[in-house]
Amino acid sequence: MTLAQRSELVKQIAYRHGFFFCGISKAGFLEEEAPRLESWLLDQKNGTMSWMENHFDKRLDPTLLVPGAKSVVSVALNYFQPEKQHDPEAPKLSMYAFGRDYHKVIKKKLKQMMADVQDEIGHVEGRAFVDSAPVMDKAWAKKAGIGWMGKNTNIISKKAGSYFFLAELIIDLELAEDQSTKDYCGSCTRCLDACPTDALYAPYELDATKCISYLTIELRERIPEEFKGKLENWAYGCDICQEVCPWNRLSTPNRISDFNPKNELLNMTKGEWEELTSEVFDDLFQGSAVKRTKFEGLSRNILFLK
């Protein structure tokens, strides 16, 4: 089997397990990202996410994370779904949060994918990653040609927009590298213009401490009063910079049943959200990524929106 044939087989296995993009990069030091990451951290744009300062070298070099690694196999899983919450005044959840926790869904798929790679190619060592270790998903997705880094700092695909999750297999199997793609943002600044908190303070630059997703999910402290009236009714995450992106007109509904929104969530009124109890929270968000913020955190966010 040639290098190209082996690489194509890995991609076919990825598609078989529901990933709708797969690209390959040579495992090695991310020279372009190193100064950007260092500067971003020094400017404290990561806010209270101190974990991003840990394992700096491993974050930039997967061969330190997975000894003997030769390839980074980047995959993307579509989560776009067009259904909206029925009450336009209800506190809003980011689209990805309506279904089952993507960490669990993707990790299972990656394990199955790895098993198939070993069955069909031979003994392969490596690890699967879904936000579970210091891996720079976007940098690897960009190198693998899945898309370009948009001005909103999301990876954007010319074929499908940006409503997809990223994950990786870092393995000791040598594969043919894919080429990165061109940046197609052009002169568009819709994402920067639409961001209500000015988190996107310049093209390709994000101040996480001002991002609504950070404020409603990662921040454990009280939301600063300076953001009062600026969250545009987002209670968990935010999709504004994706909603206004012209490339997302190409988004198509996902085919993953685990990502289907619960009708109970879609039907909840503003009043029901404001009267949410811990028992209802546990029932509604069983197996959901929203559990990350806990009942206390989501209640804090809903109260802040009043």
Q: Which residues pair with 72 in a beta bridge?
A: 25, 170
Distance from first CA to last CA of the chain, Å, rounded?
62
From residue 151, alpha-carbon distances to 85, 139, 140, 185, 283 in Å are 28, 14, 17, 7, 37
The position carrying tokens 């971003």 is 40
List, for residues 3-31, the tens digit of each pLDDT value: 999 999 999 999 999 999 999 999 999 99
The CA-based angle 233-239-244, given to 5 degrees, is 110
pLDDT for res 89: 97
pLDDT for res 58: 85
Its pTM stands at 0.93
More confident residue, 136 or 57: 136
Do the beta carbons of residue 163 and residue 79 sit within 8 Å?
A: yes
Task: State the average pLDDT for the chain.
Answer: 94
Confidence band (pLDDT; 50, 70, 90) for 51?
low
From residue 192, alpha-carbon distances to 156, 221, 239 in Å are 15, 26, 13
pLDDT at 2 over 70: yes
Provide the Cα torsion 109, 60, 46, 42; round to 10°. 180
More confident residue, 148 or 1: 148
User: How far apart (Å, rounded) are the C-alpha atoms in residues 62 and 300?
Assistant: 38
User: How far apart (Å, rounded) are the C-alpha atoms in residues 124 and 161?
Assistant: 32
Residue 70 tokens, joined: 């030769």
pLDDT at 52 over 80: no
Do the beta carbons of residue 80 and residue 48 sit within 8 Å?
A: no
List, for residues 265-284, the tens digit of each pLDDT value: 999 999 999 999 999 999 99
Do the beta carbons of residue 82 and residue 138 sit within 8 Å?
A: no
Q: What are the DSSP calls for 154-177, one per residue?
A: SEEBTTTBT-EEEEEEEES---PP
Do the beta carbons of residue 161 and residue 248 sit within 8 Å?
A: yes
Q: Is there a catalytic annotation at residue 131?
A: yes
Q: How many CA atoms lie within 13 A of 61 on its CB side?
A: 9
Annotated active-site residue in 61, 87, 116, 131? 131
> What one-letter code names the amino acid at 202?
A
Angle subtended by helix axes 3-16 and 102-121, to nearest 10: 140
Q: Which residues pair with 170 in a beta bridge?
A: 72, 127
pLDDT for res 50: 67
List, for residues 223-265, the tens digit of each pLDDT value: 999 999 999 999 999 999 999 999 999 999 999 999 999 899 9
List, for residues 184-228, the tens digit of each pLDDT value: 999 999 999 999 999 999 999 999 999 999 999 999 999 999 999
pLDDT for res 246: 98
Which residues, other chains included, contact 299 with Cβ-Cβ below 8 Å and sequence gap of 6+?
276
User: How far apart (Å, rounded) are the C-alpha atoms in residues 79 and 300?
Assistant: 27
List, for residues 293-306, the tens digit of each pLDDT value: 999 999 999 999 99
